[in-house]
């Protein structure tokens, strides 16, 4: 080996070692655990609507009206309360628990006694958030984004009429007690403070409408829609600083030392320093809530409470930056190692060298051709390939509306196979699949044979026209006509059967026993593919039919031995398109029965639609779509492979 090759080989080994080192560093920093420990929430997983740390406990309120008081050390339920609607606010101070719910109630738990403040049925306002001290309870109720009422109740006599202030042209986005005064942020871009009698004490203007108000580490914090953070720390001046773009603050927790961590809607943490009056990006957590005020902090993520502190958060931010650098370094060194290897041993990798040389020459020679097709492939990549690849990635994540995205492995697939209605969905999907394929093949084939058998040319022509006309109607219109005008309670079927049977009119799509058979009947007489059949049959050479007739072959035998074998490609096409259309046809179920009644018409494709559009669970919907893709792809490959084998045998 020459000195030049030795140097190139040494350079390759060095690049490979650096690539491996960068890869190892990436995985080391990527595996860094932000939390010291974590404990699963005993109820509702990630469905908590309100989470707060108070009196050494964790308060978790849910959309179904359940409020749990959890032990701060073990996360086990200490006590539980139930309201008639979504929990909007919950806090505990000095042994007094207050929570508000969407059923127009405010509940106060003191010394084991529960007192409830209810609002009259005729009042459209409902409590949205509150705050309290040992003497007063402040409640904000609203009826729209531009109107609401702020009321103060006597904590020692909740039955006494409250003192109220009504807002007619703007509403509040939050309120908090701070330094003995009640601070509010309103949609009129103001921070207003009140005394206990709701008399206005001070007013400060913001640059834009506020998005968040909260208190942490002895600081009152407000953010607006322009990305400005305002801090009230007891001084006369209102401190202002910018926060990173496209970040919406949803929570705050103090870590001591004049530092506050802000949680954004995307699960990222921002670090605010009161002394420096600046905000810097911190760690990515994927959390939905952050709680704590001094010392330890807690993050709610994927239905578990994670305990952490400022030191671990800061190191996690550092690890995130290093992880990105290591990933870039790994790619760079890996590419460098590959190039050096090709240069050091060109003979052994000549096939790759020749390929890239030929490809480069082809690009130069036919550059205008490639430029002409580039827009087409660009649109395909953006609107076809990228959504498919992104759905594949989503299928391994916990991706729900309003919740941070996080990787959850095969949990979505486990949830799919643990669905109690999965068997019903598979059974109904198979029923629709078999019947749809048979309806696509048999009636259209028979109709095509009937048209060919007609002698009069004009009769053939007008028969084809009349059979084709229904095909130009919008598919959804046809489905709705069948659902209402034909199968509905006042539809054609009831009009024909009621006088004969003498029974009351039936709503076929709302009765469990009749819903599925009725849907199978939709589209009768099922001649949608007759043009493909007709085109295939008329292209069969007449000489074959004449020879079969001379040999004494009857009509049925001719179909079996001549017609069907010669139109196998068209039959496979109809079979494949019918199979794909049947498996994916959630719109048919959505427009008619919605999977009911009692899951009688529930299918796999409709479950995918329901997960995405009703529950907002994009992760599980993507996992289900991936399973459907695997099934459709396998059947497609099987049919195409058989077609290839048949062609080779011929």
Question: Per-residue pLDDT averaged across 142-150, rounded?
Answer: 68
Tens digits of residue pLDDT in 248-260:
888 888 766 668 8
Q: How far apart are CA 50 and CA 48, in angstroms?
A: 6
Tens-place pLDDT, residues 350-365: 666 677 788 888 888 8
Would you state the structure tokens that stand for residue 96, as one six-digit string? 């007094």
- Distance separating alpha carbons of residues 482 and 538, to the nearest angstrom: 33
Residue 348 DSSP symbol: T
Query: How many angstroms separate the CA atoms of 287 and 70, rounded?
Result: 19
pLDDT grade for 46, boundaries at 50, 70 and 90: very low
For 300-309, write each residue's pLDDT tens digit: 766 666 777 7
Q: Residue 597 burial by CB count (10 A; 0-12/13-18/19+): exposed, middle or buried? A: middle
Confidence of residue 277 (pLDDT cuts 50, 70, 90): confident
Q: Is 193 helix (H, G, I), strand (E, B) or coil?
A: strand
pLDDT at position 205 is 85
Q: What is the DSSP string of 38-93?
A: EEE-SSSTT-EEEEEEETTEEEEEETTSEEEEEETTT--EEEEEE-SS-EEEEEEE
Which of 333-337, 347-351, 573-577 is the least confident region?
Answer: 347-351
Phi, psi of 561 (to 5 degrees): -90, -25
Q: Which of the residue ranges 111-125, 167-181, 220-234, 421-435 would you say has the lowest mean pLDDT? A: 111-125
Residue 57 has a pLDDT of: 79
Model pLDDT, residue 498: 76
Helix (H) or strand (E) holding 635: helix 618-649
Burial 603-624, CB ≥16 within 10 A → b, else e: bbbbbbbbbbeeeebbbbbbbb
What DSSP assignment string belongs to 449-503? HHHHH---HHHHHHHHHHHHGGGGS-HHHHHHIIIIIITSTTSHHHHHHHHHH-P
pLDDT (mean) for 531-553: 84
Residue that is written with structure tokens 């390759």 in the block? 12
- Across the chain, mean pLDDT equals 79
Residues in contact with 16: Cβ distance below 8 Å, sequence separation at least 6, in sequence order: 333, 334, 337
Would you say 599 and 424 are in contact if contact means Cβ atoms under 8 Å apart?
Answer: yes
> With the C-alpha atoms ordered 283, 286, 288, 294, is the resulting torsion angle positive or negative?
negative
Do 470 and 464 contact (CB within 8 A), yes or no? no
Q: What are the pLDDT digits (tens) for 72-121?
A: 766 677 888 888 888 888 888 888 889 988 888 888 988 888 888 876 54
Phi-psi region of 303 (alpha: psi -120 to 50; beta: other; left: phi over 0): left
> Which carries the bigger pLDDT value, residue 269 or residue 431?
431
Selected residue with higher pLDDT from 341 and 388: 388
Instruction: Average the pLDDT over 29-51 and give the result.
Output: 56
Give CA–CA dist 175/214, Å, rounded: 8
pLDDT given for residue 89 in this prediction:
86
pLDDT tens by residue, 499-534: 776 666 788 888 888 889 999 988 888 887 888 888
Please give the pLDDT value at position 7.
66
Query: How far apart (Å, rounded) are the C-alpha atoms in residues 81 and 287?
Result: 25
pTM score of the predicted model? 0.52
Q: Give residue 642's pLDDT band: very low, low, confident or very high (50, 70, 90).
A: low
Share of the chain above pLDDT 70, in %: 81
User: What integer pLDDT is reported at residue 256 of this predicted model?
Assistant: 63
The pLDDT value given to residue 26: 62
Contacting residues for 11 by C-beta, under 8 A, at least 6 apart: 340, 344
- CA–CA distance, 283 with 377 (Å, rounded to integer): 37
In the predicted model, is pLDDT for residue 144 greater than 60?
no
Distance from C-alpha of 493 to C-alpha of 524, rounded to nearest angstrom = 13
Please indicate whether residue 623 or residue 467 has the higher confidence score (pLDDT). 623
- The pLDDT, as a whole number, for residue 431 is 92
Averaged pLDDT for residues 321-342: 73
Write the secondary structure of 290-312 as one string of H (helix), E (strand) and C (coil): EECECCCEEEEECCEEEEECHHH
Two structure tokens written together for 174: 């939050």
Confidence at residue 585, expressed as pLDDT on a 0 to 100 scale: 85
Q: What is the pLDDT of residue 397?
A: 83
The whole-number average pLDDT for the span 315-321 is 67
Q: Is the pLDDT of residue 45 over 50?
A: no
Instruction: Work out the burial of residue 165: count CB atoms within 10 Å of its CB; fewer than 13 is exposed, 13-18 middle, 19 or more buried.
Output: middle
pLDDT tier at 420, thresholds 50, 70, 90: confident
pLDDT in the model for residue 29: 57
Phi-psi region of 50 (alpha: psi -120 to 50; beta: other; left: phi over 0): beta
**How far is the CA of 70 from the CAs of 44, 98, 292, 293, 465, in angstroms?**
13, 15, 14, 17, 72
pLDDT at 257: 64
* Contact (Cβ atoms closer than 8 angstroms) between residue 218 and residue 247: no
Residue 646: pLDDT above 60? no
Helix (H) or strand (E) holding 139: strand 136-144
234: CB partners within 8 A, 6+ apart: 179, 218
Residue 461 in tokens: 């022509």
Least confidently predicted of 87-101, 291-305, 387-401, 439-453: 291-305
The Cα-based distances of 499 to 141, 424, 484, 492, 508 in angstroms read: 58, 35, 19, 12, 17
Q: Which residue has the tokens 């004494």?
A: 552
Q: What is the distance between the alpha carbons of residues 598 and 620, in angstroms, rounded to a whole number?
A: 22
The answer for residues whose C-beta is within 8 angstroms of residue 433's C-beta and 6 or more apart is 579, 582, 583
Phi-psi region at 624: left, alpha or beta (left = phi > 0; alpha = psi -120 to 50): alpha
Instruction: Assess whether pLDDT exceeds 60 at residue 39.
Output: no
- The encoded tokens of residue 331 equal 């790619």
Which residues have a Cβ under 8 Å from the Cβ of 242 and sit 6 or more positions away?
Answer: 227, 228, 229, 279
Q: Are 141 and 125 in contact (CB under 8 A)?
A: yes
How many other C-beta atoms can be found within 10 angstroms of the C-beta atom of residue 16?
A: 17
């Amino acid at each position: 080996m020459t000195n030049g090759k030795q140097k190139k080989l040494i350079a390759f080994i060095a690049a490979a070692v650096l690539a491996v080192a960068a890869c190892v560093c990436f995985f080391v920093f990527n595996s860094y655990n932000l939390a010291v420990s974590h404990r699963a929430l005993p109820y509702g997983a990630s469905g908590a609507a309100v989470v707060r740390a108070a009196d050494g406990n964790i308060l978790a309120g849910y959309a179904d009206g359940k409020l749990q008081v959890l032990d701060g050390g073990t996360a086990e339920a200490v006590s539980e309360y139930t309201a008639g609607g979504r929990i909007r606010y919950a806090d505990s101070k000095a042994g007094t628990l207050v929570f508000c719910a969407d059923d127009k109630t405010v509940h106060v738990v003191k010394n084991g006694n529960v007192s409830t403040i209810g609002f009259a049925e005729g009042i459209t306002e409902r409590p949205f958030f509150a705050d309290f001290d040992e003497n007063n309870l402040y409640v904000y109720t609203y009826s729209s984004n531009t109107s609401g009422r702020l009321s103060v109740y006597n904590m020692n006599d909740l039955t006494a009429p409250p003192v109220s202030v009504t807002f007619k042209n703007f509403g509040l986005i939050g309120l908090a007690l701070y330094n003995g005064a009640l601070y509010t942020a309103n949609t009129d871009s103001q921070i207003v403070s009140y005394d206990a009698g709701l008399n206005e004490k001070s007013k400060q203007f913001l640059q834009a409408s506020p998005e968040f108000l909260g208190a942490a580490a002895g600081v009152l914090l407000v953010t607006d829609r322009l990305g400005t953070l305002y801090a009230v720390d007891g001084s006369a001046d209102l401190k202002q600083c910018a926060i990173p773009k496209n970040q919406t603050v949803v929570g705050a927790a103090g870590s001591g030392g004049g530092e506050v961590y802000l949680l954004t809607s995307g699960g990222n943490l921002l670090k605010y320093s009161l002394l420096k009056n600046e905000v810097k990006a911190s760690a990515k957590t994927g959390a939905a809530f952050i709680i704590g005020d001094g010392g330890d902090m807690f993050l709610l993520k994927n239905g578990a409470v994670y305990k952490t502190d400022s030191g671990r958060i800061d190191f996690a931010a550092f690890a995130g930056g290093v992880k990105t650098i290591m990933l870039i370094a790994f790619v760079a060194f890996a590419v460098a190692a590959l190039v050096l290897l090709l240069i050091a041993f060109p003979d052994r990798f000549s096939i790759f060298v020749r390929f890239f040389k030929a490809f480069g020459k082809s690009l130069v020679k036919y550059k205008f051709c490639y430029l002409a097709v580039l827009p087409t492939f660009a649109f395909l990549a953006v609107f076809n390939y990228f959504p498919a690849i992104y759905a594949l990635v989503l299928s391994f994540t916990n991706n729900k509306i309003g919740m941070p995205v996080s990787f959850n492995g095969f949990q979505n697939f486990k949830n799919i196979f643990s669905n109690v209605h999965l068997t019903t969905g598979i059974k109904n999907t198979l029923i629709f699949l078999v019947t749809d394929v048979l309806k696509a093949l048999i009636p259209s084939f028979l109709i095509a044979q009937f048209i060919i058998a007609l002698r009069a040319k004009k009769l053939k022509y007008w028969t084809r026209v009349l059979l084709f006309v229904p095909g130009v109607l919008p598919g959804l219109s046809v489905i709705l006509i069948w659902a209402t005008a034909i199968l509905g309670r006042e539809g054609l079927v009831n009009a024909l059967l009621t006088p004969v049977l003498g029974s009351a009119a039936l709503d076929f799509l709302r009765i469990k026993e009749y819903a599925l058979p009725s849907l199978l009947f939709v589209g009768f007489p099922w001649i949608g593919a007759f043009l493909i059949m007709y085109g295939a049959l008329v292209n069969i050479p007449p000489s074959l039919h004449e020879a079969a007739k001379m040999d004494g072959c009857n009509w049925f035998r001719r179909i079996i031995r001549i017609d069907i074998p010669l139109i196998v490609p068209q039959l496979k096409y109809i079979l494949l398109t019918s199979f794909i259309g049947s498996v994916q046809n959630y719109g048919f179920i959505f427009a008619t029965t919605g999977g009911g009644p009692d899951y009688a018409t529930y299918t796999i494709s409709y479950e995918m639609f329901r997960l995405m559009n009703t529950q907002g669970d994009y992760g599980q919907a993507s996992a289900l779509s991936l399973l459907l893709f695997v099934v459709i792809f396998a059947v497609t490959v099987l049919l195409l492979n058989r077609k290839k084998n048949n062609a080779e045998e011929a």
